[in-house]
Amino acid sequence: MQAFREAPGLRAQLTASEYQRSLAEQMLELRERECEGLHNELREQDDRLRFWYSRADALSSALTLKEFSPRLSTTKEMKRFYDAVSRGLDPNGFTLHHMAERLAGVDTVSLFPYEDARGMFEAASGRELLKYLTAYCFGAVEWEIVPGTTYERAVLGEVDTSTPEYQRFAEQLYRSVLERMGFDGLLVPKQAGQTAEQAPAQNEIETMAM
C-alpha cells in the first residue's frame, strides 16, 4: 500500500528527471554545434593567415625581381617573375594550367582518355597537366596502340618552343596569369599599333588544338 501511495510521486520525479536529462542533452548538442562553428571559424582564419603569409613571401620575391626588371616586357621576364611568385601563390601550377586550358579552349583530361581511365591525372600537378596540354596543342604527341587492346596511349615528345606559334602562346599565357594574380601593373602594355600577326593569336591556338 505504501508503494502504491508513493507511485505518483516517483512518477513525477522520474518525469522531472527525464525532462532535465532532455534539457541537458539539448544544451550539450547546442554546445557541440557552437564548438564546431568555432572550430570551422578558426580553420578559416588559419587558412586566411597561411594565404597572407604565402602572399607576403611571394610579394617579397616579386619586389626583389622588380629591382632587376622594373617592368616586365618579354616572355622570359614574365616567366622568371611567375616562377618566383608561384612558390607562394601557385605552388602546384594549377592557375597556370587552368589559364592555358582557357586560352586553348580545351580540357586536358578529355584529350587523353586512356591515361584518364588509368587514373594518371588524379594526383597530377598543374605543371604535369600543362605538359600534356602543350604537347597536344603543338604536335608533340605520338599515339601507340596498347598491346592486346584497341586503346591508344600518348607518348609525349619535346615541344618546339622556338616556333612563333608557341612563343605567342607562352607570351599570352604568362601575361594572363600575372594579370590574374594582380601583377598587371608590372607588365609593359601592348603597343597600340601592334598588328594581329604580332599579337598572341587566340584563334591560332584553338586551331592547333583541334
pLDDT digits (tens, 9 = 90+) for 61-108: 555 555 545 678 899 999 999 998 888 889 999 999 999 999 999 999
Say whether both 84 and 36 belong to one domain: no
**Residue 134 burial (CB < 10 Å; 0-12/13-18/19+)?**
buried
Helix axes 164-180, 126-137, angle to 10 degrees: 150
For 113, the grid coordinates are 582518355
Say whether both 90 and 146 belong to one domain: yes
Say whether both 17 and 117 belong to one domain: no
Say whether both 12 and 88 belong to one domain: no
Say whether both 109 and 208 belong to one domain: yes
Domain count, the chain: 2
Which of 68, 92, 119 delimits the end of a domain? 68
Per-state percent for the chain, helix, strand, coil, to nearest 5: 70, 5, 25
Say whether both 89 and 177 belong to one domain: yes
E strands within 60-170? 141-145, 152-156
For 153, the grid coordinates are 596511349
Prediction pTM value: 0.63
- Residues of the domain holding 180: 70-210
pLDDT digits (tens, 9 = 90+) for 44-57: 776 666 665 565 56
